[in-house]
Amino acid sequence: MISIDKQSFKGRRAIIRVDFNVPMDSNKNVLDNSRIKAAKSTILKVIKDGGSTILMSHLGRPNGKEESCSLRHVLNETQKVLGLNVLFAGDALGQKTEDLISALKPGQVLLLENLRFYPEETSGDEMFAKKLASYADCYINDAFGTAHRAHASTTIIAKFFKNNKYSGHLLSKEVDSIKKVLETGKKPVLAILGGAKVSSKITIIESVLNKVDEIIIGGGMSFTFIKALGGQIGESICEDDKLNLALSILEKAKQKGVIIHLPQDVICSKEFSDDGDKKTASINNIPANWQGLDAGPKSREVFAKVVNRAKTILWNGPIGVFELKSFSSGTIELGESIIESTKNGAFSLVGGGDSVSAVKKFNFQDGVSYVSTGGGAMLESLEGKELPGIAALSN
């Protein structure tokens, strides 16, 4: 994979796959522009070098050409973020689009219409990809969030650029941060896995077992492990069909010398809400009718110690029901320990799903080393899969 930093784009026309699939309100105002901001440095690199750029993205899941999913709605925000005038092609194909592209001058930016207005995008159609490729003399992929999809613009297009395909800054950062954790991470390497279900994390657990020194298993999924070990978990969330799997994970960890830390105590309640009574219980003795909803004080102390000694940290999944105020402190304290450890030199990556929401909710993003922008793409990377969009840049 070649980074754009090793290239000059002077006089070149680059087609860039960005991820402008931004959330919008009912009046089509952009609610969160972080994905546009994330693509900014790649776009500006090409422009500052003296090149021109064609931006392509999807937005939502349109069924054919749906005005509500038009990228026209993100045009203003894109201009604001880039500080540049951006031309808009009302289509991804067609004569008008081709004319705009032929007239594109160095320093200019053109945004194509939503690629998913054409079913050929998601089906990975070669002719569609070839047409898009014909617009430019080089291809840059900066859409990590869709790199796990073999779509026309994320993967197939790359084959039409033998030596002129590059990774943008965002994509490179994502790939580097995964490498820093799973391949070249300073020891001890720690994975913190939380969230609701073991079933959605099995492949990640199995993959990281080969890469890390310690694992904290917290949140809802810890109860499947506790029950498998003979603990009384009351009404806590549990996947009874995964008890044997939990035991086999613990056994594999033992064989590989990976230390697994499960919670020792929990804050529990009779209700899944802020309103019910709360008390702290030992993890093995949660009374009947009560459910564990957050890490208890002893667990937090142990987790903080483990985080403190780690030199590389991967965090995936909250360790309590952080959406409810009464059960958010475990996740908040864990985030604070990760920030502290990062200040002391550890590399910390937050990736995949709800831990990213928790980090945003509690404003931890500036204190950790990297927060991944790609939900599904990050999860698949952590599962050890090669993402088609990334592989296509190297082939």
DSSP state of 319: S
Taking each helix axis from N to C end, the angle separating 34-49 and 75-82, rounded to the nearest 10 degrees, works out to 60
Q: What binding mask, one character per residue, do residues 220-259 give for ligand AMP by CB under 6 A, x or -? A: x----------------x----------------------
Q: Does 317 bind ligand AMP (CB under 6 A)?
A: yes
| Local structure of 47: helix, strand or coil | helix
Task: Look up 197 and say whether it is catalytic.
Answer: yes
219 touches ligand AMP (CB under 6 A): yes
Judge contact between 47 and 84, C-beta under 8 A.
Answer: yes
> Is residue 389 part of the contact set for ligand AMP (CB under 6 A)?
no
Asked about 230 being catalytic, the answer comes back as no
Q: Which among 129, 127, 105 has a CA at the least distance from the CA of 53?
A: 105
Active site residue 35: yes
Q: Which of 197, 252, 278, 298 is catalytic?
A: 197
Q: Do 365 and 371 form a contact (C-beta atoms < 8 A)?
A: yes
**Whose CA is closest to 350, among 340, 362, 338?**
338
Which residue among the candidates 276, 375, 376, 384 is catalytic per the annotation? 376
What is the closest distance, in whole angstroms, from the C-beta atom of residue 318 to ligand AMP in the complex? Answer: 5
Stretch that binds ligand AMP, among 52-60, 157-165, 239-247, 317-325 (CB under 6 A): 317-325
Classify residue 276 as exposed, middle or buried by CB count within 10 Å of its CB (0-12, 13-18, 19+). Answer: middle
Using the minimum distance from each CB to ligand AMP, give the nearer residue, 51 or 318: 318
Task: State which of residues 1, 75, 196, 250 lies at the interface with ligand AMP (CB under 6 A).
Answer: 196
Site for ligand AMP in 116-175 (CB under 6 A): none
Using CB under 6 A as the binding rule, the residues of this chain from 358 to 377 that contact ligand AMP are none
Tokens 């590989």 found at? 256
105 is catalytic: no
Long-range contacts of 90-98 (CB under 8 A, 24+ apart): 91/117, 92/56, 92/117, 92/118, 92/132, 93/118, 93/131, 98/135
Interface residues with ligand AMP (CB under 6 A) are 194-197, 200, 219-220, 237, 292-293, 317-318, 320-321, 323, 353-354
